[in-house]
Amino acid sequence: MGREIVRTLAREKDFVLVGACDVQEVGQDAGVLSGVGPLGIPIQDDLERVLEESAPQVVCDFTHAEALRKNFPVFVKYRMAMVIGTTGLTQDEIQNIRQVVERERLGCVIAPNFAIGAVLMMYFARVAAPFFQAVEVIEYHHPQKKDAPSGTALKTIEGMDSGHFMTPEGQELVAGARGGMYRGVRVHSVRLPGFVAHQEVIFGGEGQVLTIRHDSLSRSSFMPGVLLALRKVCEAPQFYYGLEGILGLE
């Protein structure tokens, strides 16, 4: 995702990349590593040093939950606008981030998925939920993904009124065969090479099945949403959980 963001920003006239931070590829030029040619931006592994030297207006964090827990106080210290694509945070942690951001009057977007099609999938699932008696969610990702279920799957379920769904129970001959349970909804996580990020929400009703599915075939699918979020947090210092509020889908 870091390389994809660098490639995207290199094409945008209203953004300039001023710093790059990672624990890998330290010292390499971020542009060369991302395939856009030299940008004169070496990758550093000291976040505070990067922010102090480059003084960015907005920062993107696409790390993992453990790293974000350390990074977030640094972002607040340097009063950064933030676009966060890191998943694996608890709801309590997200609410804590919201409280800090609102208290400090900073701009922040936390989104489990930046693909606009995925946001629409979640929205359509929310619209369909009241009309069906049962639902299950299946999400598919590459095997390097650290958390399961995905943040997108959890947010999809959170957006649906799941109090009325039936939850058939049967004997599992293999433990976990029926997936996990979150807020009364079965959720299944697939991790296989070849997948990027995919999800289907399957509703069942009398004599019918409705499947709402989204597929991200490459990480470039996330970039329009990332750019939308970057521009929004720069102009509006407030907290957004997901792109729904930015897209007017709430």
Three-class secondary structure of residue 41 per DSSP: coil
- Concatenating the DSSP letter of every residue in 161-174 gives -GGG--------SS
Tokens representing 185 are 């909804």
Catalytic residue among 13, 70, 77, 145: 145
Phi, psi of 215 (to 5 degrees): -130, 125
Cβ atoms of residues 144 and 192 within 8 Å: no
Catalytic residue status for 232: no
Residue closest to 109 by CA, chosen among 92, 85, 91: 85
Of the listed 13, 64, 141, 188, which one is catalytic? Answer: 141
Instruction: Report strand pairing: 208-216 vs 197-205.
Output: antiparallel
Answer yes or no: 141 catalytic.
Answer: yes
- Active site (catalytic) residues: 141, 145
